[in-house]
Chains A and B, each alone.
Chain A
Amino acid sequence: MKRMLLLILVLNLFGCSPTSETKSLPEQKKENSTVSYASHFDLIQTGDDFLLHFMSPESGEIEHRFFLTKTIDSSRTGYTTIEIPSTKLITLSGTSIGMLSTLDKQQLIVGVSNKNYVYDPKTRNRIENNEVIEVGEESNLPLEKIIQSSPQLILYSGFGSDFPGSKKLNALGIKSIPIYDWRETHPLGKAEWIKLFGALSNSYEKAESYFNEIESAYFELKEEAKTLSESPTILSGNLLGDIWYAPNGNSFVAQMLEDAHVTYKYREAKGTGSTQLSLEQVIKDNTNTEFWINPGFSSKNAILELNTKLKHIGPLDKNTYCYSHNINLFWERSAIEPHHVLSDFIQIFHNVKTSDSLYFYKNIE
């Protein structure tokens, strides 16, 4: 009975979500769900344990069910058991490193994809000292090397399906879980995955508290942006071959731009992916656009080398900002620091000092 009361209390405290005006607020999956913004996973507390569901980004159907339990030999029908707290993880996703380091739990990592893409200094160090192995791409993992380092879990990105070898590893007791944060379109949806990492590493409260902090900070900034009168025009996207890819209106970037109270040029485009445009069209549309964000390169020369005709993109000369001067930092930390990305946007576009310096972005030269 006491346990029941505690459960209800805990759920009441953490189960409600603030109302938000941001688009695509996902439906509550279950009453005890701790997840408000993310659409591709669900985390439900049951005492000290958790039920973890993963939903397919395509169909929305639950495709994996895991039971995270502190009790040895505990199980639940229909669920794969994972013992927590985890002691050894291999992660193929960069954002996982960012989230674990936020919780100060990056020492759980024993394997990464490629050391060149790691930002976190402690993890880099451990790679140098051979405490962390490199395993390359998801499509071609060295199974024997992985088995040798005896991890409990492999966190993969899931580009469409299970990675090759996952069944073999599963049979040997190495479970794999998909990290679909990169498929989340809500700005806070990505950050919310930190709760999963909290659950795995016995720091759930810390994760939750951190998330609540950034959630408030995010909304504060958003409210502040609304009060600003100007709404400059923004171009986002870049050229690949002959085609320009611009994020669609419901994509992650477009939503953040909306929250930053700017006019994103292609916000009318439907969907969460990107839209293909001809270079002609982009040049024509953007002669008066004030800013270009995420051009994909960190210097003007590099952009022009890609295609000299890009010199006709309106904002190239003065107001182009990119994160590519420190790509690893951006990819590792922007998911868990959406409030900093928003802060950067507001500072750049509205010329309002929201912080001492930009966190991620830089004006390209």
Chain B
Amino acid sequence: MSLTKKQLYFLIIAGILLPVLCVVHLFSGQISIEFQDFSNSLFHYNNQDTNQIIVRELRIPRMLMAVIAGGGLSLAGLLMQTLFNNPLAGPFVLGINSGSSLFVAFSIMTGIPFLSSDFGIISSALIGAFSFGVLIMFFSLFVRSHVSLLLIGLMLGSFTGAIVFILQAASSSEELKSFTMWAMGSLQNTELSQLPIISSLFILGIIGSILLIKPLNTLTIGEEEAKLLGTNYKTIRLVIIVITALFTGLVTAFCGPIAFVGLAVPNLVRIIFKTQNHFVLIFASVFIGGAFILICDILIQILESSIHIPINAFTSLVGAPFVVLIVLKRLA
């Protein structure tokens, strides 16, 4: 597929915007940090200096998670939207997020220590995402219409939501608090030491998506057409679901649920770049998705002194009106 000069420039701009926002994010906390603190924390780390501790242990992980969450969920959303030929698809809307939430709810509220530890929650989120990915894929076999599939996804979400309510009613206030906190989403729950593996999985998912560029491009004109062009639909569909579950599970595991990014950003990317060329869409989704979450988190930090807004709430605040706009635009 084609790549115009204009698209290339925008892509480069987005690619530059991301690291710029990363730096802005690092310096936008309530405590003022010097550039010295930043460079020292990386190269001459003094673990007694509070400022350096804050930069290295708190801000850097938070910034990296913002990028990974934003980029990962946006890319997952893009893959879902292409697979199902539906711009309103997304890990959240198709219930994959609900799968993670349900399994994490079980982990926390069964009170079994292993399951409610960090490792337990992460595994549950990943397993939950994957199971529900397979479930929605199963439904997609029987359901032709996109609207029907979305409805099924929403119903899956409601169903798991109901189960979670029941679990909540039966759990102690400690467990309830724990789950509620988890559901608000947080970019601050990862350790620097966990970042290498998280980043590796993230990059793995991106590489996997890049290898799918051609099949994804053929999928833009539909399942049947893609098959006619030689695409091995069943295999590609499976790989897409695995990559999507990987991103969704990874982000949900370490950050809790973060709404709307997966739905809104790929649409925004298509509107800006006006193309279905997945070479552009994949990179743009990662850049703009990362930028989006960084901007949200920068705003959250600026507002911190007056009001604390959890990240999940913020993305919904911004994302929901945007999705309404998209729907209206499509109907026009």
Contact residues of A with B, CB < 8 Å? 240-243, 276, 278-281, 283-284, 287, 305, 307-309, 312
Contacts and interface: CB of A to CB of B under 8 A. Distances in A.
Contacts of B53: 283, 312
B181 A281 contact: no
Given A312-B50, A312-B57, 4 more contacts: A243-B308, A279-B188, A284-B54, A307-B189
Nearest to B174: A296
Contacts of B181: 240-241
Contacts of A280: 29-31, 54, 58-59
A284 B58 CA distance: 12
Contact of A242 (B30, B51, B186): B186
A242 B29 CA distance: 14
A283 B54 contact: yes
Contact of A309 (B30, B58, B117, B177): B58
Contacts of B29: 278, 280
Contact of B191 (A243, A278, A279, A308): A308
B310 A284 contact: no
B296 to A, nearest CB: 14
18 contacts: A240-B181, A241-B184, A242-B186, A242-B308, A278-B304, A279-B58, A279-B188, A280-B29, A280-B54, A281-B31, A283-B54, A283-B58, A284-B51, A284-B54, A307-B188, A309-B188, A309-B191, A312-B53
A312 B49 CA distance: 11
A289 B59 CA distance: 22
A283 B50 contact: yes
B31 A284 contact: yes
Most buried by B among A241, A243, A283, A305: A241
Most buried by B among A280, A283, A309, A312: A280
A243 B57 CA distance: 16
Interface in B155-183: 177, 181
B34 interface: no
A287 B50 CA distance: 7
A281 B186 contact: no
Contacts of A243: 308
A40 to B, nearest CB: 23
B225 interface: no
Given A278-B30, A305-B118, A309-B188, A241 B54 contact: no
Contacts of A279: 58, 188
Provide the main secondary structure of the chain B interface: loop
A242 B307 CA distance: 13
Interface of B: 29-31, 50-51, 53-54, 57-59, 117-118, 177, 181, 184, 186, 188-189, 191, 304, 308, 310
Contacts of A242: 184, 186, 188, 308, 310
A262 to B, nearest CB: 22
Most buried by B among A242, A281, A283, A287: A242
A305 B310 contact: no
Contacts of B308: 242-243, 276
A241 B304 contact: no
Contacts of A308: 191
Contacts of A240: 177, 181
Closest 4 CB pairs of A and B: A241-B181, A287-B50, A242-B186, A280-B31
A281 B191 CA distance: 18
Nearest to B304: A278
A309 B310 contact: no
A281 B54 CA distance: 9
A105 to B, nearest CB: 28
A278 B304 CA distance: 8
A299 B310 CA distance: 28
Nearest to A137: B173
Contacts of B57: 309, 312
B66 to A, nearest CB: 13
A243 B53 CA distance: 18
A160 B182 CA distance: 26
A125 to B, nearest CB: 23
A308 B29 CA distance: 19
A307 B189 CA distance: 7
Contacts of B184: 241-242
A163 B57 CA distance: 45
A308 B50 CA distance: 16
Contact of B310 (A241, A278, A281, A287): A241
Nearest to B180: A241
Nearest to B177: A240
A243 to B, nearest CB: 5
Contacts of A307: 188-189
B275 to A, nearest CB: 38
Contact of B186 (A241, A276, A284): A241
B141 to A, nearest CB: 40
Contacts of B189: 307
Nearest to B53: A312
A351 to B, nearest CB: 26
A49 B53 CA distance: 63
Contacts of B54: 280, 283-284
A309 B186 CA distance: 14
B58 to A, nearest CB: 6
A163 to B, nearest CB: 17
A284 B188 contact: no
B171 to A, nearest CB: 12
Contacts of B50: 283-284, 287, 312
Contacts of B51: 284
Contact of B117 (A241, A276, A284, A305): A305
B166 to A, nearest CB: 14
Contacts of A312: 50, 53, 57
Nearest to B191: A308
A313 B315 CA distance: 30
Nearest to A286: B50
A289 to B, nearest CB: 12
A280 B53 CA distance: 9
A130 B53 CA distance: 55
A240 B174 CA distance: 11
Contacts of B59: 280
Nearest to B55: A280
B99 to A, nearest CB: 22
